[in-house]
Amino acid sequence: MSELTHHTAAELADALASGATTSVAITQAHLDRIAEIDADVHAYLHVNAEVSLAAAQASDERRAAGKTLNALDGVPVAIKDVLVTTDMPSTAGSKILEGWMSPYDATPVRKLREAGLIPLGKTNMDEFAMGSSTEHSAYGPTRNPWDLTRIPGGSGGGSAAAVAAFEAPFALGSDTGGSIRQPAHVTGTVGVKPTYGGVSRYGAIALASSLDQIGPCSRTVLDAALLHDVIKGHDRHDSTSLTDNWPSFADAARHANLTGVRIGVIKQLNGDGFQAGVMARFRESLDMLAANGAEIVEVDLPAIEHAVAAYYLILPAEASSNLAKFDSVRFGMRVTPTGGGTVEQVMSATRDAGFGAEVKRRIILGTYALSAGYYDAYYGSAQKVRTLVQQDFANAFAGVDVLASPTAPTTAWKLGEQLDDPLAMWRGDVATIPANLAGIPGISIPAGLAEEDGMPVGIQFLAPAREDARLYNVAGALESLLTTTWGGSLLSQNRGLDTPGGYSTSVKGGAR
Amino acid sequence: MSKAKLMDFDKALEIYEPVLGFEVHVELNTKTKMFSSAPNEFGGDPNTHTTPVCLGLPGSLPVVNEQAVRYSISLGLALGCQIAPSSRFARKNYFYPDLAKNYQISQYDEPIAFEGSVEIELADGKLVTIPIERAHMEEDAGKLTHVGGSTGRIQGAEYSLVDYNRAGVPLVEIVTKPIFGAEKDAPELAKAYVSAIRDIVIGLGISDARMERGNLRCDANVSLRPRGQEKLGTRTETKNVNSLRSVERAVRYEIQRQAQILSEGGTITQETRHWHEDTGTTSAGRPKSDADDYRYFPEPDLLPVVPTPELIEELRAALPEQPVERRRRLKAEWGFTDLEFQDVVNSGLLNELVATVSAGASPQAARKWWTGEIARLANAADVDPGSLVTPAQVAEVQALVDEGTLTDRLARQVLEAVIAGEGSPRDIVEKQGLAVVSDDGALIAAIDEALSAQPDVLEKIREGKVQAAGAVIGAVMKAMAGKADAARVRELVLERATAQ
Amino acid sequence: MSDISEERVRHLAGLARIDLSDSEVTALTAELAQIVDVVAQVTNAVEADTPATSHPIPLTNVYREDVVTDDVLTQEQALSGAPETDGSRFVVSAILGEEQ
Ligand SMILES: [Mg+2]
Ligand SMILES: [Zn+2]
């Protein structure tokens, strides 16, 4: 098999099953690809070739012995650095955790290992997942593989860029307000935020506990479903993880069928403040869905106008508490003021030096929102908005199977362009945040390129809680219609990759 | 404040009315911690009883221990509380190095139990009802050891060491409402209340309740108000009170200290105070101020606790007798006088007595041992009587007395050997040959020898001056090294004197 | 308008144990004031009797059995990430404040 890095995970699994290639060969090809281009893209914070190749070797031996663990046994995967791992440092993109080795594996990582997948490395992210551009990583930004001068989205820009640049077939991400879906939107990839509780959060370095959810990033809907199938399910370590018997999401993706599907278009996310190219691709997708059996109706979700405000109270409040554990006592960085100091001074100096500006901003905001005398007005009201958002979704889903919107208002902006305005990036989360507040699942898949800048555009679908399978059905159907129209995947149209060394030749011919 | 500068207690009570309040923390004796599956065991090598949860490692998440919830509900019911149909955990945010996450998972506005009362009994038999505001579940903190400086205390230490073995041990915090009307009984009431809580949790079997190990910890709130004033005075919260005796002393001290300050026109600072067992005084700790902002909010990693009515009824049905009722019953069963029974209750030995009686001793014998010899030895060694011997051992010693193997004096000797760890009572009797000489032949030989050594005494006995026999009996007992029954010796002396 | 002042930001930073520099305080004060003005809209978006949602998926009574599991760490693992230990315990600088 040639161009091992350009195949989907599903294809790699088939090739492994048929004996056409080995896990060592696939893993080595990805390591080579990383070595070749990651200096430009900077998707990874940590790669350990030796550990990956040893795992690949073990997978090949299992296969030779007829003891394969899972259909994906031997397929490589990238892991967002928010998930703790025993054999690679876990930093959440922060200086305060530089080099920290966890004594335990996050549950989604443990499940990957138990299924025989090969962790390639840890991907870059905004510090503690606070951001929409990966520029808030303490280790430098990741660049968008479509245009290295642009952001790859965030906070999971590393995972999305790794997948878009063929540095991994798929990856794990975390989505607190869009951190899987928005990077997918700006990199021409697929990202899924599962139902809250659908995947264990154990070992995911918490940002906002009631919003965080781990999910897959990939190049195809089927690959996302395959990865989701591996990591889903109850975990006794996470009280909020659901005990549901989930259906096979891969089956849902494989048997996509639009007949009789009712799709609601969210009135509040259908125009104002959205880039023309984003809206154009969105409407084309809707037309295509309608032409192929789906029914499109408009739905009204008035409460989501307050969703962003509620989110930016709930998130900092929970984060201010979750990040209190970074105090230089049990793990991570310690900064002692010159001449020594009390433990209080050491903690304060460490947290000043170890946290970036965005993290400090949100901690202070969260501390404020929870303070005596402000709690009811801010945190309390935000939790009430949450109820209203949930009610709006419940009303909407009474009449439709899924909801649709553009994933984000704009395509990828230039690195540094929005750094000075803390509110600008927040406005970019308008379409993704409501799902996190309500706990419902969402997916973003490529919908095409915006004429004005040639950058990728995503379309988002949302489903009721526990109905993640509907997303794979609808998105799988649309993906197949779109790729037929395009004559290949959206990523195969990436001309921006022509410039950095060796990039273009491998991309031409595409993932098909 | 030195003790000399305290106001006299009685005088303080003349001018001021004390108002009390207590926060008692009970460590539950579950197998694992409140939110993690690490062992809940006292001691152990530092940092060997932890999981990622106890250390607050990045990514770790709490999961509630079901047994701890059941224990908490049982305790709430035993305190006469209502059990909340839905209760919730909350985060109490503050930085402290023994707190792994820098927030404590506790309960705030939705505690598991609320609105109860406990009936306690004072030494004079007076019953007092203590109103309970709430009982809530939370987790314990780790243990700090302060190094450097002169005293090993926090003040002046150069650095501190943290052991998280205790971090996350399940606690129930029981909070009273303000207690009025205690008056001069205030110190005693404090002790009786904590003692009542101890009896309740021991009766439920949900805590080891050993105060010296911190299984049961009391924070005592004391405020004074001038007689006739309605508004409550400023209160202090005295912490680190870890014995029943200290609770009593600390409350007494705080009343005298506050009275002195107030009478001099001073004001009481609302603050935490620390009790010092060695000096019998309290010292100022952290002032309570507006800077205390715990920023409570519902713990997003945990879900509401919604006990079913069936569970509550199941636990209610399994409740043991209330301590006050139990005491009434035992007093009647044992036939003790008021004085005898109060003596037992006040010395905190009721459970030991019950166990000793059920191991076969008569109630009176059990009482004599525990409130007599054992209490004396414990007092001398400054330890808990219950830590010296087991009720079974006491019952065994008494059984040896009852069967005539030991005299009271020998029995005391055996008991001391048991306490010294020399073996079981029967083993000790055997190994040390302590049994009473019941062979009349040996006694008669010794008596004859003593009589012939004291012919004047023999003469007096023969003249009917029976009380003169004492000298001979003493000599015989001495010759037998005390291993004789004095009554039998007396009988035989009189017999031999008249027979010769 | 919000009531965010430099003094308040310093107080919040103290609660959050972040030793902000003067310039950080100045910058944050302006940014927070701007942010709070936007997010404060939630206050008017809800009614007094609107129920609050703290968990997106309502579950209750999620418990763990009272048994020790293999999640227990060895002392070495427990201490492995610490900046400073004495071999069995974590070392911290002198503590000024009292326990709570
Ligand atoms: Mg308290
Ligand atoms: Zn407490």
* Sequence letter at residue B319: L
Report the pLDDT averaged over residues A231-248: 98
The nearest CA of chain A is from the CA of C2 a distance in Å of: 11
pTM (2 d.p.):
0.88
What is the residue range of A223's domain?
Answer: 78-305+386-509
Question: Is position A155 annotated as part of the catalytic site?
Answer: yes
Give the pLDDT score at A500: 39
Instruction: Please tell me whether residues B54 and B36 are part of one structural domain.
Output: yes
Q: Summarize pLDDT for B459-471 with one digit per residue, the tens.
A: 888 888 878 888 8
Report percent pLDDT > 70 for chain A: 96
Q: What CATH number did the domain enclosing B492 receive?
A: 1.10.10
Instruction: Please tell me whether residues B232 and B376 are part of one structural domain.
Output: no
Whether residue A332 is predicted with pLDDT greater than 60 in this model: the reply is: yes
Residue B69 lies in a domain: yes
Q: What does the block give as tokens for A22?
A: 């080995």
Give the pLDDT score at B153: 64
Q: Summarize pLDDT for B156-211 with one digit per residue, the tens.
A: 788 999 999 999 999 999 999 999 999 999 999 999 999 999 989 999 999 999 99
Give the pLDDT score at A501: 36
Q: Are B103 and C16 in contact (CB under 8 A)?
A: no
Q: How confident is the model at residue B408 (pLDDT cuts 50, 70, 90)?
A: confident
d(CA A235, CA A308): 30
Q: Which residues of chain B does A320 touch, with a Cβ-Cβ cutoff of 8 Å?
A: 93, 295
Angle at A408 between CA A404 and CA A412, to 5 degrees: 145
Question: Chains contacting B with at least 3 CB pairs below 8 Å?
Answer: A, C
- Does the beta-carbon distance from A202 to B59 stay under 8 Å? yes
Please tell me the number of the ligand nearest to residue B171's CA.
2
Give the pLDDT score at B2: 60
Residue B4 lies in a domain: no
Residue B58 lies in a domain: yes
Residue A355 lies in a domain: no
Give the pLDDT score at C100: 45
**Ligand 1 centroid – CA B23 distance (Å):** 6
> By CA distance, what is C92's nearest residue in B?
B160
Question: Is position A132 annotated as part of the catalytic site?
Answer: no
d(CA B476, CA B484): 9
d(CA B87, CA B68): 14
Give the pLDDT score at B440: 79
What is the residue range of B185's domain?
Answer: 9-313
Averaged pLDDT score across all residues of chain B? 90
Whether residue A250 is predicted with pLDDT greater than 80 in this model: the reply is: yes
Residue A267 lies in a domain: yes
Q: Residue for token digits 């209190």?
A: A324
- Does the beta-carbon distance from A324 to C16 stay under 8 Å? yes
Question: Chains contacting A with at least 3 CB pairs below 8 Å?
Answer: B, C
Q: Summarize pLDDT for A15-38 with one digit per residue, the tens.
A: 999 999 999 999 999 999 999 999
Whether residue A307 is predicted with pLDDT greater than 60 in this model: the reply is: yes
Q: How confident is the model at residue B362 (pLDDT cuts 50, 70, 90)?
A: very high
Q: Summarize pLDDT for C4-46 with one digit per residue, the tens.
A: 999 999 999 999 999 999 999 999 999 999 999 999 999 999 9
Instruction: Please tell me whether residues B328 and B232 are part of one structural domain.
Output: no
d(CA A494, CA B188): 83
Give the pLDDT score at B69: 98
Give the pLDDT score at C98: 54
- DSSP code at position A35: H
Question: Domain residues of chain C, as ranges?
Answer: 6-45
Whether residue A499 is predicted with pLDDT greater than 70 in this model: the reply is: no
A201 three-state secondary structure? coil
Q: Are A265 and A441 in contact (CB under 8 A)?
A: no
d(CA A310, CA A303): 10
- Number of domains composing chain A: 1
Report the pLDDT averaged over residues B346-372: 91
Residue A325 lies in a domain: no
Q: Summarize pLDDT for B418-434 with one digit per residue, the tens.
A: 998 888 998 888 888 77
Report the pLDDT averaged over residues B354-371: 94
Higher pLDDT, B450 or A262: A262
Tell the CATH topology of C6-45: Histone, subunit A (1.10.20)
- Does the beta-carbon distance from A361 to C15 stay under 8 Å? no
Burial B60-71 (b: 16+ CB within 10 A, else e): bbbbbbbbbbbb
Report the pLDDT averaged over residues B463-484: 81
- DSSP code at position A147: B
Q: How confident is the model at residue A496 (pLDDT cuts 50, 70, 90)?
A: low
Q: How confident is the model at residue B291 (pLDDT cuts 50, 70, 90)?
A: low
The nearest CA of chain B is from the CA of A323 a distance in Å of: 8
The nearest CA of chain C is from the CA of B233 a distance in Å of: 22
Q: Are A121 and A34 in contact (CB under 8 A)?
A: yes
Whether residue A209 is predicted with pLDDT greater than 50 in this model: the reply is: yes
Instruction: Please tell me whether residues B285 and B375 are part of one structural domain.
Output: no
Residues, CB-to-ion distance under 5 Å, ligand 2: B 173
The nearest CA of chain C is from the CA of B46 a distance in Å of: 6
3-state secondary structure string, chain B?
A: CCHHHCCCHHHHHHHEEEEEEEEEEEECCCCECCCCCCECCCCCCCCCCECCCCCCCCCCCCCEEHHHHHHHHHHHHHCCCEECCCECCEEEECCCCCCCCCEEEECCCCCCEEEEEEEEECCCCCEEEEEEEEEEEEECCCEEEEECCCCCCCCCCCEEEEECCCCCCEEEEEEECCECCCHHHHHHHHHHHHHHHHHHHHHHCCCCCCHHHCCEEEEEEEEEEECCCCCCCCCEEEEEECCHHHHHHHHHHHHHHHHHHHHCCCCCCCEEEEEECCCCEEEEEEECCCCCCCCCEECCCCCCECCCHHHHHHHHHCCCCCHHHHHHHHHHHHCCCHHHHHHHHHCCCHHHHHHHHHCCCCHHHHHHHHHHHHHHHHHHHCCCHHHCCCHHHHHHHHHHHHCCCCCHHHHHHHHHHHHCCCCCHHHHHHHHCCCCCCCHHHHHHHHHHHHHHCHHHHHHHHCCCHHHHHHHHHHHHHHCCCCCCHHHHHHHHHHHHHHC
Q: Summarize pLDDT for B32-86 with one digit per residue, the tens.
A: 999 999 999 998 999 999 999 999 999 999 999 999 999 999 999 999 999 999 9
A333 touches chain B (CB under 8 A): no
Report the pLDDT averaged over residues A280-303: 97
Question: Is position A267 annotated as part of the catalytic site?
Answer: no
Whether residue B150 is predicted with pLDDT greater than 70 in this model: the reply is: no
**Ligand 2 centroid – CA B273 distance (Å):** 16
Q: Summarize pLDDT for A163-182 with one digit per residue, the tens.
A: 999 999 999 999 999 999 99
Higher pLDDT, B151 or A237: A237
To probe the interface with B, which of A329, A333, A343 has the most B CB atoms within 10 Å?
A329
Please state, as a whole number, how many other Cβ atoms lie within 10 Å of the Cβ of residue A39. 10
Q: How confident is the model at residue B476 (pLDDT cuts 50, 70, 90)?
A: confident
Give the pLDDT score at A349: 97
From the candidates A23, A52, A59, A80, give the one annotated as an active-site residue: A80
Q: Are A447 and A475 in contact (CB under 8 A)?
A: no
Q: How confident is the model at residue B500 (pLDDT cuts 50, 70, 90)?
A: low
Q: What CATH number did the domain enclosing A255 receive?
A: 3.90.1300.10
Report percent pLDDT > 70 for chain B: 96
Domain limit, last residue, from B278, B313, B348: B313
**Ligand 2 centroid – CA A208 distance (Å):** 25
* Sequence letter at residue C2: S
- DSSP code at position A496: G
Instruction: Please tell me whether residues B489 and B381 are part of one structural domain.
Output: no
Q: Summarize pLDDT for B297-339 with one digit per residue, the tens.
A: 999 999 999 999 999 999 999 999 887 788 889 999 999 998 8
C-alpha Rg value of chain C to the nearest Å: 22
> By CA distance, what is A434's nearest residue in C?
C56
Report the pLDDT averaged over residues C66-95: 96
To probe the interface with C, which of B50, B146, B301 has the most C CB atoms within 10 Å?
B50
A330 touches chain B (CB under 8 A): yes
- Number of domains composing chain B: 3
Instruction: Please tell me whether residues B132 and B263 are part of one structural domain.
Output: yes
The complex scores an ipTM of 0.96
Q: Residue for token digits 């001290």?
A: B253
Averaged pLDDT score across all residues of chain A? 94
**Ligand 2 centroid – CA B42 distance (Å):** 19
* Residue A503 to residues A11, A506, B476, Cα–Cα distance (Å): 21, 6, 113
Whether residue B235 is predicted with pLDDT greater than 50 in this model: the reply is: yes
Q: Among A87-96, A196-205, B276-285, whose mean pLDDT is lowest?
A: B276-285
Whether residue A510 is predicted with pLDDT greater than 70 in this model: the reply is: no
C26 touches chain A (CB under 8 A): no
Q: How confident is the model at residue B289 (pLDDT cuts 50, 70, 90)?
A: low
Give the pLDDT score at B152: 58
Residue B2 lies in a domain: no
From the candidates A90, A179, A285, A328, give the one annotated as an active-site residue: A179
d(CA A441, CA A448): 22
Q: How confident is the model at residue B491 (pLDDT cuts 50, 70, 90)?
A: confident
**Which residues between 46 and 75 in chain C have a beta carbon less than 8 angstroms from any beta carbon of chain A?**
46-47, 50-57, 59, 62, 64, 71, 73
Domain limit, last residue, from B313, B331, B358: B313
